[in-house]
Amino acid sequence: MARLFGTDGVRGQANTDITAELALDLSVAAAHVLGERGDFAGHRPYAVVGTDGRASGEFLSAAVLAGLASAGVDVLDVGVLPTPAIAYLTAELDADLGVVLSASHNPMPDNGIKFFTRGGHKLPDDLEDAIEGRLREPWERPTGAAVGRVRRLDDGAERYVAHLLTVLPNRLDGLHVVIDAAHGAASIVSPEVFRRAGARVEVIGAEPDGLNINDGYGSTHLQPLRDAVLASGADLGIAHDGDADRCLAIDATGEVVDGDQIMAVIALALRELGALRDDTLVATVMSNLGMLQAMAREGVTVRQTAVGDRYVLEDMRAGGYSLGGEQSGHVILLEHGTTGDGVLTGLMLAARMAQTGRSLADLAGVMRRLPQVLVNVPGVDKDAVDGDPAVQAAVAVAVAELGSSGRVLLRKSGTEPLVRVMVEAADEAQAHAVAERLAESVRSHLSISV
């Protein structure tokens, strides 16, 4: 049976894959696993629970509240808040557990369940496996005063906004910003904190109704933000996804500034402040070669991990690094948060513009994005890709052809019989040609016989 937890919690279609029963059972199992390993020792446990505003989050959060309370855990229901805000509150309030009902950038019909341990950290694989292994087991239920109590925390958003303002290195006076909140969890919080920081703010995609999250707006649909920036003559646009754990940007000319460029800008800003630990940035193997080349020129070391912000975070925590993230816009500033924070990322990007007086296009120009082509090859034996002589010979030929101006990466999917072929080159036509050639080699030599 496939593992229930993915790279970022449990996710699927709400009320089909992610049911109220599953949400309740996972919450009970999490309470049991954490309690038995000693997380609740010596005190009455309590948890922080919030959602990203999807309609399905209403019944799923009710199930989580019920499950935790039935297991003897007191619960603070913080309502609709960004995922990083819930992680922050889990740490700030010294809660034993945090739970987020969110499917991030996925369409509205999906939802997910994500857990944080004490301190606001994502669960490691072994804890997720332990929780999955305890689903629906018989258990002795508390009664009377031992059952958990549920209450609202009404000032969660204000606590989070205040935290972000204390982190900001300088004010944003004079900047004109357009914020696209994806009709999601940042619809109120993100515009509010930018305004308090001194920016002139216009807002789009900030009328959530439970059904329109990520629908035509946000970091996966950048055209409305581009149009708004150009129409208003703004200095930059900030795009969040539904739960605001990521940030992409649009510069004043309408060009997209992706996660690699954002990390490059923030890395140099932190280094100038003496806050880039060991002059090191942690990124994934999918980060653009142009970013790697730019950081090498600037004397910044780039460590690369497997794809997934959890792997970035693991490497950051192990090495004590202060900055990491993904091309998709998940950026982690570990001294100020335990997970990707799209609102904080946007603030730091804007702060660099205000501090230097430079445009976003100028700042992002520190790196040149090389053309990157990704081809998915389905129906193949993905586990054989690293050991097949013919495929590896084709890779060697491609690497020799591209030299230092390009890069090849063959990566197997974690969930389906699929190999992802990624090629970067100085010329887009060459990147396409090499990628298609490698994809054909994978199809020819690794196809699964029916």
Domain residues of the chain, as ranges?
10-154, 159-364, 372-446
Residues 57-86 as b/e (b if ≥16 CB within 10 A, e otherwise) read bebbbbbbbbbbbbbbbbbbbbbbbbbbbb
Instruction: State the pLDDT at residue 416.
Output: 72
Tell me the C-alpha distance between 352 and 297, whole Å: 20
* Contact call for residues 425 and 405 (beta carbons, < 8 A): yes
Beta-ladder partners of 50: 79, 100
Tell me the C-alpha distance between 239 and 248, whole Å: 5
Protein fold of 159-364:
Alpha-D-Glucose-1,6-Bisphosphate; Chain A, domain 3 (3.40.120)
Q: Which two tokens stand for residue 94?
A: 């010294």
Candidates 52, 30, 285, 272; CA nearest to 169 is 272
Helix 259-272 / helix 342-356 crossing angle, nearest 10 deg = 60
Q: How far is CA 44 from CA 23, 39, 97, 115, in A?
A: 22, 10, 12, 19
Residue corresponding to tokens 């942690």: 282
Q: Which two tokens stand for residue 348?
A: 């730091």
Instruction: State the pLDDT at residue 193.
Output: 98
Instruction: State the pLDDT at residue 450.
Output: 41
Instruction: State the pLDDT at residue 418.
Output: 86
For the beta carbon of residue 375, count every other beta carbon within 10 angstroms: 17
Which H or E element spans position 270? helix 259-272
Q: Which of 27, 61, 102, 104 is catalytic?
A: 104
Strand 200-204's sheet: what is its strand order? 200-204, 176-180, 236-240, 247-251, 256-257
Residues 416-434 as b/e (b if ≥16 CB within 10 A, e otherwise) read ebbbbbbbbbbeeebbebb
Residues 6 or more apart whose Cβ sits within 8 Å of residue 302: 280, 281, 282, 283, 287, 291, 292, 295, 296
Overall pTM surpassing 0.85 (yes/no): yes
Instruction: State the pLDDT at residue 413.
Output: 78
Question: In CATH, what number does 10-154 get?
Answer: 3.40.120.10
* Contact call for residues 213 and 104 (beta carbons, < 8 A): no
Averages of pLDDT over each 10 residues, the chain, 450 residues: 79 96 97 90 93 98 98 98 98 96 96 95 91 94 97 97 97 98 98 98 98 97 98 98 97 98 98 97 95 97 91 94 96 95 98 98 96 92 90 94 91 80 92 94 82
CATH 3.30.310.50 fits domain 372-446: yes
444 is catalytic: no
Whether 372-446 and 159-364 are alike in CATH topology: the answer is no
